[in-house]
Amino acid sequence: MKHSVEYKFGRYRLTVNFWFLILFLLVQTGLNELGFWQLSRAQEKQVRLKKLANNQRPELTSLNQVDQKAIDDFVKLQIKVRLTERVNLLVENKIQNGELGYHVLNLVQELDSDRYLLVNRGWIQGRADRNQLPQVKLPPTHWKVSGRIYQINKQVLSGDAELESHGKILRLPILDVHMLSLLERRFGLSVEPYLLRLDENAIDSFAVDWAWVNMSPDKHLAYAFQWFGLSLAFLIISLFVLIKKESEE
């Protein structure tokens, strides 16, 4: 049984082995799928940033008005809250302007709905010694906050990590649904699955330079170009290997 086919055109011969053909199709399919996936991610990020740009004014004044669409659109929210726990939550490994630090969060209760929410006050610089935590002033007990809604990561990235208690500071390796459930158990209450990122120059905010997408659309497009380029390069190399010029004899 033949495991290859040959095609002749002029003085050139193309020999295709069936096993190589299967490998070629698998590699080409994989590379092109990765390229199209990056294109779809770029489009998704462009839509997200467009929604963000179109929501400039405070739209919601109560947590009762928040639905999934509001979360997906980073809708602005302006509410009156009460500080429920006199502790600061520090989320580790946050980089800003090349410096390593923390995001400072506080747990509050909205006065209108009695629902509980995390407020992200922004970035503060960390110290070289991880055991030396920065001292952070608590916000006022009664507080008017304004910012944008941001979804807490639905994936479990923290694994078996636990909350680290240091007096009036709780340190979190990351904020995801697992860490949120640990906070709920610790405080004995239910917390919204999103948080509020304070506006720039808001009362009791720190350095505020929010990244609303983890990768820009341009970077996704660059990755897509790389995957399609690899696909084209593999095609050219394959043809170069398979096509042979017959001798004049």
Domain coordinates in residue numbering, the chain:
4-47+217-245, 75-198
Kindly state the average pLDDT of the residues 184-210.
88
- The pLDDT value given to residue 74: 85
State percent of the chain over pLDDT 70. Answer: 91
Model confidence pTM above 0.75: no
2 has a pLDDT exceeding 60: no
Structure token digits, residue 249: 């004899």
- The pLDDT value given to residue 200: 82
Kindly state the average pLDDT of the residues 220-230.
91
Angle at the Cα of 159 (from 70 to 94), degrees rounded to 5? 60
- The pLDDT value given to residue 1: 47
31-69 confidence digits (pLDDT tens): 999 999 998 888 877 877 777 777 666 678 899 999 988
- The pLDDT value given to residue 48: 74
Burial string for 112-141 (b: 16+ CB within 10 Å, else e) reads eeebbbbbbbbbbebeeeeeebeebeebee
The pLDDT confidence band at residue 97, using thresholds 50, 70 and 90, is confident
